[in-house]
Structure 1
Amino acid sequence: MRQDQQPIVCDDGPVKRLVFLDLDGTLLNHDQQLPRSTRNALEQAIAVGHRLVMCTGRSKLEIYPFLWELGFAGLVGSNGAYGQAGDVTLFDERMPQEDVSEISSWLESVGAESLWQTAEALYPTQGFLSRFQSDDAGDRTAAGDWGAYLEQVGPHLREGLPKTAAKVTMFLPFSSGASLLDAHEQFGERFAIIDGSVPHPLGEMGELTARGMNKSVGLARFAARLGVPISETIAIGDSANDIEMLRAAGIGVAMGNGTPEAKAAADWTTTSIDDDGVTAAFEKLGLVGAPV
């Protein structure tokens, strides 16, 4: 076993339960807020020794500091391509430069906008971030208040294209005439393409990663580094990029506000994010309160 593959030994004892949690729609609501009940449940679970891991389509640069301050053990980001435990990078899988160039050229040719993710910087096309900004008519923005997100990513934005990238988020305006179906036809045999986790009234959002890359891959790699069998993991999520994770985990829990596909992939469904869904799940799982 190589040194970089050695299991991580946690300073404060063995892992009790290893829980992978989606962010948007699971921990964070449409206004990028963490419900008070969810915060309390997270803090209680961490206090009794459970390890909580953010498992998200976001890159590490899109994670709010207050989430780390809660005591999360790590991050699986970019739909499984990036893994971090504490300050240690566990894995960082990227698409090569030729793929980035080819995909970017096609997106530009069909009038799409995009955001490329790396662990060092974010590369948006002109107009992409405006899709998360309210105008006077209120009709350009994704649902909710994204002010905190725009403030978070601001210092990490760069122009042009990265040499390599973990993931690209794409926005295909209805006015462009192109769709996610077109993206699937163009790239579906070579890359993983799924619906975006944030809906938009003026177009389709999608996420593209290397073929075979998804959150379950990151979950398995992270769990292996901590020496935890996948059968002992828990995953909670709500959308398309959570499906493989919900299927792979020892216990998969879908949010009540989740998509039908996410609910079908899970072992059971909790209540919605606005109805204390994470707290209800933690209580049923015995992570907080008296074990069931």
Structure 2
Amino acid sequence: MIASDVDGTLLGPAEVVTDRTVSAVGRVQGDGVPFVLCTGRPPRWIAPIAQPLGLTGYAVCANGAVLLDIGADRVTAVHGELAPELLHDLASAMDKALPGCRLAAERIGTGEVDHDMRNFVIEPDYHNPWGNHEGRTTMRAEVLGHPAIKLLISHRELRSAEMAEAARAVFGTAVDVTYSSSGGLIEVSAHGITKATGLADLAERFSVPAEDVIAFGDMPNDVEMLTWAGHGVAMADGHPAVLEAADEVTGPAGEDGVAAVLERWF
């Protein structure tokens, strides 16, 4: 089984899937090997990547909390929801640790994917480093008022690494904190829910042992997955923690680093 992160791994600065990557992934699937997207992205962001690659199998989304059947456009499993009481406690702690932070929540249930983004709610002045082009703006009470698979915390004046350090100091092991962008955004999920747990669940369904999985990634939310897989591959321009965790370092996404490794076997 091949598992790959999306942003910064399959997609380079141009944010497009290259012909070389399409060809390499096509050969993987042609040999009957599952190719799995493992991403922090929600299910509604998967189709633009899956379609050019010809993927109709599964994707591990929301950093391991969601299993998506791409072909059916259905969420088949959701793991580790954060209860409203916990969300309120987390928000209160962050207001003290990181004054000026803003919150968003991702809510997903099983069934057809909600492409209208009604399940992604943000409070006013929430900042998305990928662009503030989605999310339903509402009051904080609504953001925190329902179970969520992920709490997102943004701050316009801080970097993600320092935000994550502050959050971990406050939260301890109550939840897991990670990030997939350096631009002032951290992602909080239920303790123990990672890309590795989501991928392990899927690998078990396919009866594929961890040692037969090759995984690619570039950011801290990929570390557990690269460590769990039999062969973890980091992108050359990846975060230092990812480079340290990997068994191999390939070229950056902008130079088709994933394809370069896959071409050795397929």
* TM-score normalised according to structure 2 size: 0.82
Q: How does 1:37-48 map to 2 (within 5 A)?
A: 37-48=20-31
Q: 1:66 to 1:233 in 2, by over 3 A?
A: closer
The alpha carbon displacement at 1:173 in A equals 3.1
Select which of 83, 103, 108 maps to 2:67.
83
Counterpart check, 1:275 vs 2:248: no
Alignment correspondent of 1:96: 83
- After superposition, residues 184-199 of structure 1 pair within 5 angstroms as 184-194=168-178, 196-199=179-182
Which runs of 5 or more structure 1 residues have no equivalent in the other structure?
1-17, 134-145
Report the Cα distance in structure 2 between the residues aligned to 1:226 and 1:277, rounded to whole angstroms.
26
Alignment equivalent of 1:114, drawn from 78, 103, 118: 103
Larger mean Cα displacement after TM superposition, 116-125 or 232-241: 116-125
**Aligned to 1:27, what secondary structure does the other structure show?**
coil
Query: For residues 33 and 45 of structure 1, what CA distance do their matches in structure 2 show?
Result: 19
**Which of residues 8, 17, 36 is equivalent to 1:34?**
17
Q: Which residue in 1 is equivalent to 2:111?
A: none
Secondary structure at 1:34 match in 2: coil
Q: CA deviation at 1:175?
A: 6.8
Report the aligned-residue RMSD: 2.4
Which of 159, 163, 166 lines up with 1:182 in the alignment?
A: 166
Aligned identity (percent) is: 27
Match of 2:58 among 74, 80, 86: 74
Residues 65-115 of structure 1: per-residue CA shift (max 9 Å, x gap): 342452142111111111123435442021112112222344456211233
The answer to whether the 8 Å contact 1:26/1:255 transfers is yes
CA displacement, residues 147-168 of structure 1 (integer Å, 9 cap, x when unaligned): xxx3xxx4x6463325111112
Contiguous gaps of at least 5 residues in structure 2: 109-113
Distance 1:157 1:243 in 2: 31
Larger Rg: 1
**Count of residue pairs the alignment pairs up:** 245
Distance 1:23 1:192 in 2: 21
Shift of 1:260: 1.9
Q: Does 1:57 align with 2:37?
A: no
Secondary structure of the structure 2 residue equivalent to 1:192: strand
* Equivalent AA in structure 1 for residue 217 of structure 2: G
TM-score with structure 1 setting the length: 0.75
**Does structure 1 residue 218 correspond to structure 2 residue 198?**
yes
Cα 1:205–1:129 shift into 2, 3 Å: closer
* Larger CA deviation: 253-262 vs 66-75: 66-75
Q: Contact between 2:124 and 2:137, CA under 8 Å: does it hold in 1?
A: no
Q: Which whole-Å CA distance do the structure 2 matches of 1:53 and 1:132 have between them? A: 23
Kindly indicate whether the alpha-carbon contact (under 8 Å) linking 1:255 and 1:277 is maintained by their aligned counterparts in 2.
Answer: yes
